Structure 1
């Protein structure tokens, strides 16, 4: 995840998900697997409950939490012979560290324990709690509460430590086995000490009353606003166009693929046959290209533009190019009535015919780059999950998929010739020395499967089991090993994804994140070195990424101390060259796939201020290299990025990357920066406009409004982080690409921002608006442990991105409430009901038959006055239910109703799914 940390360490990860059953992780077996030791008798079965108790201590520096260990027997948990491992995003304070002013210090030894970094490298989020000789044994049935101080704060359940596992009799030797320990998190939303970060935090916790005041009223929605993104021009006509059995689609020129896609899409919702053929002129739907199509009358052709002309029983879709035709097809799909999609959830109930309104639509995108980034480095998603996501993105005219394939915690793409990247770097498990795989991280290793040396994990739910996590918020199983820490795409998998995206006019932008965020690559190449050094030293050293004698010390914001690629080694550039050549080969193998841009990463090298970190100055090989011996760390970074850019552009692609790449004065011709670190008050709010004014083409990736992994709001049960902001679909919808300062109303703590504080920030010059080429939503995956969680965090946030990327110009701020009300009503009445019934278009039968998208269903707002309940919902048109008997029975809310006592409420989607339950007294 991209995080900008100066004064405050950033929140990392912990939550979420069950396995995607579509395909098992293609994890390569270890070339020389180590047989696990015989399973010992477990002397004590334990569980752990964690609770953040008091954020008010330590100001913003640290907080107090408790670990409650319960011993369920059969024997006592003694003062030796066991170690308890876990992942935790916070830094646990050292013994004796704390606050003199508050007379509060870390005191673990008095409790008979110590907590240290767990792995041999001491790198990352992995900790071990172990008893000291003074530890008082925990008897069978006893619960022991341990007080622990950790950095910053914890206000959401996602902040909890996760993936607890225990080892008896040491567990330090190769082949030892750990045992999963069930864990829970307890957090009281009504306790300000648990939900207030520090004294400067003014952000309220979500309540039914707060939502009630904010929710818009029900209103009719004009047809133009029922489509997403809203078309530039829509004229309604008298009548409708009816489609039924025997519908034919005629295509001109190279549009056979688009016609086949439409055949499949209509076949999913319409009973009978739908067919396509080269245009003869009498088809019900015709597809054609008009290269000079000018949708807005400005005298120039509009790339990706289209017109949709529906009248007199026929539909004509004309595109400026094939992509324009495809976008017109998506608009046609959105014109199909919601009830037709609802009926088709069961294919046997598909309608024999349906009608679309007679309209004339002329439309073209405002930005050429309309994207979404998905991180599969922290947690892996299967190719089927990615394909489904791509199809839904295409439905909303998203045309760029930024594929974050590598990070500290995992390398996810097979590279022929460097098998260690996936045989080692795609695997996580219990391996303290990381001899055969990387250590567990973010509370996960190999999901609920075996192969990671952690046994007794929760059993996978059988397919026939009816009670499953709703994934409408935090689930306790998010702490208990669910999540694909292991997994990768074979070359065939990746080519399939490319072909699927290409068919949908989506360009895939692969990211190889360097030189930081590179621990998986670094550790894999060290594994390769160990494996080959005695038999083939030349091959062993061919792709080595570190100087083994480097004494430089640094800690990344995610607490890694060994995640840098050395810029002074030719082997580093040999590695990068090999990787991008193999990436290019995947595109070359897929007809039509375009490798336009490669993302080179470049973010979050830890701050050099105050001498806290040293990047490479302690590397003897840097001092021995004539090209680098006189360079300081900034110079070495710029040297690396220059070489990295040359390697990327040698493929014919352009280089994009995080704007950190050019933060230190580097001029990199052709580089496309993605500015992300615009947190209000942190100093980099205007980077995007600086670069655009300097002539760079800029893609906006601002964390405050576009990071979809950030929690929707301040509710302890919302999964995600909040280091930059809380981010919901309103943040994405109201984002102003050409004037982000209009979005700066509150800082991340809920305090009003004085516009005067931003008066000296660089503004975008009118003549440089053209240099803002697009924007994208970004989903970092520390918490994305299941496909359902991925969809929950992405939808409906990405819908605001899709709308704003297509229509970047917005009316005056004072006119936004009316536009927001139209958007929310459209979501509730037409857009989300279609997602309830969404079936991915699958012309070649590549995917399992699935229906629906697990978008976030907002909790209802409500108030009780004079004994009468009044309720509303953020997306008017969704249902509301209430219960006065503690959830035993639920009644549909339609108008104010008399109630007494405790009232429970929930929102209801058209497919029967519900939101979390809200309580009102």
Structure 2
């Protein structure tokens, strides 16, 4: 983020940028509007009012109640916001924002008693005029920095009248991609908004005839088809030694899912000396797969290699067979090509991190991801179990961690749960203090069934598991399921920062029992600090013996879960990221730190090092090795930890940590690559306001992951996060040949701030994870000058082979089929009334419409007139978002006939009735929302 500078902004100047024009109707103090008859609409309207500091937004309150006014007093709206409202800030800017609201008879403040986090309240103040029945009010309000994606919008709106309980208020957000003031974050933002036209220019991959090797993701070292095929089925005889019972059982289950009858025999075997690349040494996790008329033979260097051979065999099964099975019409047998395949991985560590702290994911979702990881030959699940917003693992002996720390609710004093965060409490369920929530995801999506092919309004309306945890039994089942797929689960217990759920849980324990054995804070600490997420109380104290007693108990119980599951705990992640600033204030006001001879007089950095030395020692009591974020150690200092591997992540070009990974590796420290610019899958795919996700480091799509250069990350430094061209800094440390040996592997990251539903998680991960898997497994990373050709092959592989498989994919041992991968919207242009369209991944079908009602297959340039709608259709029938070409903006003075298409405030509409001056989205009955 650019350095913030002060600016004198008057309330009058801000308010003048947004007309607040609707006059209220007559007030009625006798009643209050039903919460569901209210609607909040948020729209960023101007990012130029304070370049790179604040943006001006329009917050519209619609009162659709037919009897009651929203009165001049006696109510409060509550919400979460990832961008702080200007009114909660200090200094001149805060004063200006507060006056701006006061001039409209309103005030905004933090809602919770602790004044910690992202929870706010909007209340009427002196001079507020009631909003009468059928009326609406536009409010000018400022928020920090920028909001150029719909997922930046405030979420989780409720209203409380008097001392009553809060009720859900439906909310939506608008953002017009055609308005530069809405989509340009600041003057340095040079990245264009993605449109049908920009996609058309970028979609340069021709449709290719794929070889067998090119049809598999990740690509094997070698694959040769010999012509012909062999039939296999669920009852094919499987010959394997007892040591491969698990792999044989997995194979039988996978085949039974798609074919019911007996086919050719299959043999599984292990050869510890298997040398796939013929360099004279065995290749760990390597395999050979041979399919002949006589049957199938898979030989692995080890058991994991055998399973990866099975996964490759699954990819050889035609997508049509998976489709038939998904439709409950399993074939008797399935044909796989006759072939010889040999394969082995580049890295031993091929990981995926799933954050369950910000939003919880059910055991079933985690199991599905584990099977998909195995399918793509990933072998490390880094499971984030703790964060500020939630503790997600039952720990015997510390029930408060889950009774309190795993729960989010409307609880301003946080007596029984953490306060509402990130727009989420207990999903759409009850027991969280919010009444009147939507009954299902469609109702929460304002009446439209969510497709999760982009932003959905229901993510503003309490779709998101703020509450939940894994029982001991759940976690042990996850461990066993992962082990069957040769995946190590790396649990993350994040300390000392991002520890609010734990810190506050132990405070509730102390308040209940007066027992300070596991207390994590010094109650007399006057230190002042604030985290990136605005928490001021999320830091465990390293000067307390009770902190280490807590960690010892938790780590010990986690170790016991692995023991009972019969699974080794090979690595434990210590967390350690994003300690709140400023550093000198971490524990400077703690009497406990001053009184403890071991900590007295130490700086914040020295206390952090002391903490991690002890935490690392505790972790090594149960785990063979440890890991943690780059923030724990620093290549510019001497502090290091035994048996520890850092995950360098904050390589944003120009921020100063671009070369930390290679500096660590060159000095001999083992490294797990987690570079945000290419591996953070929760970041938005591109600069389309309808793409959910953040963009603080970059935009990340499957091209970002596929073109990632593990040994030369600077080759990816072609532009900064705002689209400005850059060149690598010659002073950045380059990776040495010896340093290469210390790159353990890479890990794709799936953070959960915006991952509020399983469909969103899958949309964020696929196809990005496929690119990451390619770079983690495939030993032949194309050189930069060869990457474009490799990328064109990869897009064809996705469109022709992988996407159809994922459409009907069934995780082994689980119910349900299909993966909600992102279906890319088409590229398109109209020239002389002729529509031309293309798609990123050749093999996907395209459709077009001129009226929004009838869709036709697109097979080549076609006459359409001045405008058209386009979309992509996947093999399972799912479609991409609609991409419009040439669609006119709505005009108030134009008379529209039924069937007319317009765009308005970033949404697409079709006229249902004739009319003039009827506003889309406001005048009911005249317009139908298409998207």
Q: TM-score, normalised by structure 1?
A: 0.90
Q: 1:213 aligns with which of 193, 198, 201?
A: 201
Aligned to 1:867: 833
Q: Kindly report which structure 2 residues correspond to 1:425-444, keeping only aligned pairs within 5 A, or say none.
A: 425-444=405-424
> 1:242·1:313 contact (CA, 8 Å) conserved in 2?
no
Q: Distance in 1 between matches of 2:268 and 2:233?
A: 18
How many angstroms does 1:246 deviate by?
4.0
| 2:713 aligned with 1:740 | yes
Structure 1 pair 244/550, CA: closer, same or farther in 2 (3 Å)? Answer: closer
Aligned to 1:451: 431
Aligned to 2:215: 226
Moved more, 421-430 or 240-249: 240-249
How many angstroms does 1:652 deviate by?
3.5
Q: Distance in 2 between matches of 1:672 and 1:638?
A: 15
Aligned to 1:820: 791
Q: Distance in 1 between matches of 2:546 and 2:79?
A: 35
| 2:856 aligned with 1:891 | yes
Moved more, 811-820 or 740-749: 811-820
Q: Distance in 1 between matches of 2:50 and 2:217?
A: 47
> 2:32·2:70 contact (CA, 8 Å) conserved in 1?
no
Structure 1 pair 106/656, CA: closer, same or farther in 2 (3 Å)? Answer: farther
* SS of aligned partner of 1:107: helix
Q: Distance in 2 between matches of 1:668 and 1:257?
A: 36
How many angstroms does 1:247 deviate by?
1.3
How many angstroms does 1:122 deviate by?
0.5
Moved more, 432-441 or 863-872: 863-872
CA RMSD for the aligned pairs?
2.0
Q: Distance in 1 between matches of 2:235 and 2:675?
A: 48
| 2:816 aligned with 1:850 | yes
Q: Distance in 2 between matches of 1:42 and 1:109?
A: 23
Aligned to 2:578: 604
Aligned to 1:491: 472
Aligned to 2:569: 595
Q: 1:353 aligns with which of 315, 326, 333?
A: 333
Q: TM-score, normalised by structure 2?
A: 0.89
Q: Distance in 2 between matches of 1:451 and 1:8?
A: 41
Q: Distance in 2 between matches of 1:104 and 1:567?
A: 38
Gaps of 5+ in 2: 6-29, 887-931
Q: Kindly report which structure 2 residues correspond to 1:494-573, keeping only aligned pairs within 5 A, or say none.
A: 494-533=475-514, 540-573=515-548
| 2:747 aligned with 1:759 | no
The C-alpha deviation readout for 1:461-486, integer Å capped at 9, x for no partner, is: 699x9962111001111100111100
Higher relative contact order (CA 8 A, sep 6+): 1
The C-alpha deviation readout for 1:441-495, integer Å capped at 9, x for no partner, is: 00010011100010011112699x9962111001111100111100000000001
The C-alpha deviation readout for 1:506-550, integer Å capped at 9, x for no partner, is: 1000000000000000110011111112xxxxxx21110000000
How many angstroms does 1:787 deviate by?
0.5
Q: Distance in 1 between matches of 2:255 and 2:541?
A: 53
How many angstroms does 1:95 deviate by?
7.4
The C-alpha deviation readout for 1:610-655, integer Å capped at 9, x for no partner, is: xxx6100100000000000020111111111111101101114311
Aligned to 1:841: 812
| 2:190 aligned with 1:202 | yes
* SS of aligned partner of 1:70: strand
Aligned to 2:306: 325
How many angstroms does 1:144 deviate by?
1.1
Q: 1:192 aligns with which of 162, 180, 195?
A: 180
* SS of aligned partner of 1:138: coil
How many angstroms does 1:149 deviate by?
1.2
Aligned to 1:482: 463
Q: Kindly report which structure 2 residues correspond to 1:264-279, keeping only aligned pairs within 5 A, or say none.
A: 264-272=253-261
Aligned to 1:279: none
Structure 1 pair 6/198, CA: closer, same or farther in 2 (3 Å)? Answer: closer
> 2:233·2:334 contact (CA, 8 Å) conserved in 1?
yes
Gaps of 5+ in 1: 10-39, 275-282, 534-539
**How many residues matched?**
853
Structure 1 pair 334/441, CA: closer, same or farther in 2 (3 Å)? Answer: same
Aligned to 1:19: none
Q: Distance in 2 between matches of 1:96 and 1:125?
A: 13
> 2:587·2:593 contact (CA, 8 Å) conserved in 1?
yes
Q: Distance in 2 between matches of 1:133 and 1:193?
A: 32
> After the TM superposition, which parts of structure 1 deviate over 6 Å for at least 4 consecutive aligned residues?
95-100, 102-105
Q: Distance in 2 between matches of 1:723 and 1:245?
A: 48
* SS of aligned partner of 1:127: strand
How many angstroms does 1:902 deviate by?
2.4
Q: Distance in 1 between matches of 2:324 and 2:433?
A: 47
Q: Distance in 2 between matches of 1:808 and 1:63?
A: 46
Q: Distance in 2 between matches of 1:857 and 1:458?
A: 28
The C-alpha deviation readout for 1:245-289, integer Å capped at 9, x for no partner, is: 741111124001110110010011112258xxxxxxxx7100011
| 2:201 aligned with 1:250 | no
> 2:149·2:692 contact (CA, 8 Å) conserved in 1?
yes
Structure 1 pair 739/44, CA: closer, same or farther in 2 (3 Å)? Answer: same
Q: Distance in 2 between matches of 1:733 and 1:891?
A: 33
